Chains A and B, each alone.
Chain A
Amino acid sequence: MPGPAAWFTVLVFGFLYLPIGMVVANSFNADTSLIGWGGFTFKWYSQTLSDPRVRADFVTSVEVALISTAISLVIAVSTGLWTRTASARARRLVDSTTYMRIVLPEVVMALALFLVLRRYRVGLGIPTIVAGHVVFNSAYATLIIQARLATMTTTLEQAASDLGATPWRAFRRVTLPLLLPAIVVAALLITSFSFDDVVTSLFLGGPNTETLPVLLLGLIRVNVTPEVNAIATGVTTITIVSFMMAAAVMTVRGIAGGRQQLGPAGEDAA
């Protein structure tokens, strides 16, 4: 017999997931008014997919996510490698800026960036949204990369250099492969953060650039149409898949990172 704690758990889960379930269900609901169940349909999806505005915003979202992820990873890896050899004081200073980017309210950072950009008359668009996303995404990625680097000593790079590898080659052949699982996890995580971000994208997108979540926000102000449910379901699916891939990589981390598995048979591409 389930006790009160179990019932409470059910209640909480219901509160959390029922609305999302409703959105998903309604995205297949043929009833336009969404009051009752009018039968199963893919109509809203086909309508959404053929809507030029939705398609344009989807492309914008993907562009912003990919570019901001790439830039964030470069910043994160460089910061991580640098902090290994930095003095304790310099390291504390840089670490605190990393934490600050996560702790500070997003709306404050977006607003601050918006004011600075306006002050210098920088046109808003994809580059400014990317810049805004990089601010927090690079911080999350840095934490993940640093956690991995903390488990690696510099001895392996020294061994590589002792065996004739230049600093760049040592990075390419030793550091990067060992860091790869962490890089993949960070990439998937921050891609999803970027993909479902509203606040920064809204402030820094300007009048002519909008991402999918920003479009959603605009649409529900007027009227919750069935397409809104279809778009929301789409965004949710992409985010969840990305998150699940990150989790999967984390669990197989031990196996991952294996590159160049060349044997003596010599079927190498080098």
Chain B
Amino acid sequence: MTAATAAEGTATAVGLVGLERSFGEHQAVKGIDLEIRDGEFFSLIGPSGCGKTTTLRMIAGLETPSDGRVFVHGRDVTPTPAHRRPVNTVFQHFALFPHLTVFENVAFGLRERRTPKAELRARVREMLEQVGLTGRERARPKELSGGQQQRVALARSLVLQPEVLLLDEPLGALDLKLRRQMQGVLKQLQREIGITFVYVTHDQEEAFSMSDRVGIMNAGRLEQVGAPRDVYHRPQTLFVADFVGASNQIPATILEGASASRLRADLGSLGVVEVPGAAALAPGAAAAAILRPESTGPIGAGGGVSLTGRLVDVAYLGPQVQYTIDAAPAGEVIVLQGSQADEGGARLGEECTFTWPAGAIWLVPA
């Protein structure tokens, strides 16, 4: 599958076929098929323990699959040990060599390849300049700040010009401000050098802001792969809808579901809607209507949903205000609206009504 399809269209940088990994009784990765395109910024996201790091380590060769194959640019590298794979890893806590200087940390891989002295020096210097660490060559890792250590880890891998760079929660150890800053650095670096990045994180926002495509993992399985916008607006499963953003779920029963682009569903007290969804569903099937908190708007000719309930909480988030309304029997519903300088009208305990146009509603199988 992988090698064959790689020839047509965009080339595949990393191909995973039926990848599995068990630790004793525990199955951490339960059969993953995935193609990561050449030159793309791909993120694997999911809650902790979902198997994303194990998957990354199997691509690196640091973990042996129980079953399945790993391809890098069409070559089967499953039996290849880590030190002979054309991929490099940026580890979660940097894993810099404490007994070596910044220069020697970055030169580590080049020395293993017996790179001639002059070339080695030139490449290390160039790399350090690229990540903004010129002048810190003789420093030890522990003398550097977290952000600087992060950049040494990056330089150490990138100087080897890997075919694929693997990043295992590389920003996890940094504070929020530095995280945002490093996200920009990473994205820019990736664009400049054009290497495929495979990025593992549990932070959905971080993944969305940097990635061309994301894969969402849950309990050892890949639930959905797609562009961030696709995944956010057209989740294929309830888990994905829930993971990629706070969403309101209204239980629904399918009335007519021959085509995924037009499903008729009964939302109980909220009436009957005709909206698109994840898949064609049989009449009578249980589903959930996803109402994005930020997608409220006037109901147009296409129909929609109107929810009335008591306002139980107002949270001011800066750019947005989050309203929580108790809309029994539908349950608590969250609504996000742009914030204004002067206080809005609604007060706690008051009845209020929010509406979602049909285009803002999405059905997923429950």
Q: Is A4 an interface residue (CB 8 A)?
A: no
Q: Is B231 an interface residue (CB 8 A)?
A: no
Return A43 CB to nearest CB of chain B, in Å.
50
Q: Is A240 an interface residue (CB 8 A)?
A: no
A155, B95: Cβ atoms closer than 8 Å: yes
Set of chain B residues within 8 Å of A270, measured between Cβ atoms:
111
* Contact residue among A161, A164, A178 (Cβ-Cβ distance under 8 Å from B62): A161
A161, B99: Cβ atoms closer than 8 Å: no
Cα distance, A173 to B100, chains bound together (Å): 10
A264, B97: Cβ atoms closer than 8 Å: no
A161, B83: Cβ atoms closer than 8 Å: yes
B99, A165: Cβ atoms closer than 8 Å: no
In the complex, chain B residues 56-102 whose Cβ is within 8 Å of any chain A Cβ: 60-62, 81-84, 88-89, 91, 93, 95-101
* Contact residue among B91, B99, B137 (Cβ-Cβ distance under 8 Å from A257): B99
B99, A178: Cβ atoms closer than 8 Å: yes
Return B110 CB to nearest CB of chain A, in Å.
9
Interface centre among A161, A257, A258, A263 (most CB of B within 10 A): A161
A264, B124: Cβ atoms closer than 8 Å: yes
Given A155-B93, A260-B100, A162 and B60 contact (CB-CB distance below 8 Å): yes
Cα distance, A268 to B124, chains bound together (Å): 15
Return A152 CB to nearest CB of chain B, in Å.
10
Q: Is A89 an interface residue (CB 8 A)?
A: no
B103, A163: Cβ atoms closer than 8 Å: no
Cα distance, A268 to B117, chains bound together (Å): 9
Q: Is B109 an interface residue (CB 8 A)?
A: yes
Q: Is B206 an interface residue (CB 8 A)?
A: no
A163, B91: Cβ atoms closer than 8 Å: no
Please, which residue of chain A has its CB at the minimum distance from the CB of B118? A266
Q: Is B104 an interface residue (CB 8 A)?
A: yes
Q: Is A103 an interface residue (CB 8 A)?
A: no
B91, A164: Cβ atoms closer than 8 Å: no
A158, B62: Cβ atoms closer than 8 Å: yes
Return A181 CB to nearest CB of chain B, in Å.
10
The interface size bin for chain A is 20 to 34
A163, B101: Cβ atoms closer than 8 Å: no
Q: Is A166 an interface residue (CB 8 A)?
A: yes
Q: Is B179 an interface residue (CB 8 A)?
A: no
* Contact residue among B83, B89, B138, B157 (Cβ-Cβ distance under 8 Å from A263): B138
Cα distance, A262 to B100, chains bound together (Å): 8
A165, B125: Cβ atoms closer than 8 Å: no
Q: Is B175 an interface residue (CB 8 A)?
A: no
Return A255 CB to nearest CB of chain B, in Å.
11
B121, A266: Cβ atoms closer than 8 Å: yes
Return B116 CB to nearest CB of chain A, in Å.
11
Set of chain A residues within 8 Å of B81, measured between Cβ atoms:
161
Q: Is B151 an interface residue (CB 8 A)?
A: no
Cα distance, A163 to B152, chains bound together (Å): 13
B108, A160: Cβ atoms closer than 8 Å: yes
Q: Is A261 an interface residue (CB 8 A)?
A: yes
The interface size bin for chain B is 20 to 34
Set of chain A residues within 8 Å of B62, measured between Cβ atoms:
158, 161-162
Cα distance, A257 to B100, chains bound together (Å): 10
A163, B160: Cβ atoms closer than 8 Å: yes
Please, which residue of chain B has its CB at the minimum distance from the CB of A158? B62
Set of chain A residues within 8 Å of B111, measured between Cβ atoms:
270
Q: Is B156 an interface residue (CB 8 A)?
A: yes
A161, B121: Cβ atoms closer than 8 Å: no
Q: Is A156 an interface residue (CB 8 A)?
A: yes
Cα distance, A85 to B285, chains bound together (Å): 51
Return A89 CB to nearest CB of chain B, in Å.
14
Interface centre among A155, A162, A173, A258 (most CB of B within 10 A): A162
Set of chain B residues within 8 Å of A264, measured between Cβ atoms:
103, 121, 124-125, 137-138
Cα distance, A159 to B82, chains bound together (Å): 10
Mark A139-162 against chain B: 1 for CB-CB distance below 8 A, else 0: 000000000000000011011111
Set of chain A residues within 8 Å of B137, measured between Cβ atoms:
263-264
Given A161-B62, A270-B111, A262 and B104 contact (CB-CB distance below 8 Å): yes
B97, A162: Cβ atoms closer than 8 Å: no
Q: Is A174 an interface residue (CB 8 A)?
A: yes
Return B163 CB to nearest CB of chain A, in Å.
13
Cα distance, A259 to B121, chains bound together (Å): 19
Given A158-B62, A262-B103, A263-B137, A163 and B93 contact (CB-CB distance below 8 Å): no
Interface centre among B112, B117, B125 (most CB of A within 10 A): B112
Given A262-B103, A263-B137, A264-B125, A161 and B97 contact (CB-CB distance below 8 Å): no
Set of chain A residues within 8 Å of B84, measured between Cβ atoms:
164
Question: Lowest 10 A-B CB distances belong to which pairs?
Answer: A163-B109, A164-B112, A159-B95, A264-B137, A161-B82, A155-B95, A161-B83, A162-B89, A263-B138, A177-B99
Can you add 17 more A-B contacts, CB < 8 Å, to A155-B91, A161-B81? A156-B97, A158-B82, A158-B91, A159-B89, A160-B108, A161-B62, A161-B83, A162-B60, A162-B89, A163-B109, A164-B109, A164-B112, A165-B108, A169-B112, A173-B108, A261-B101, A264-B124
Write 17 A-B pairs (CB below 8 A) sorted by A numbering: A155-B93, A156-B97, A159-B89, A160-B108, A162-B61, A162-B62, A163-B156, A164-B84, A165-B112, A166-B83, A259-B99, A260-B99, A260-B100, A262-B101, A262-B104, A264-B124, A264-B137
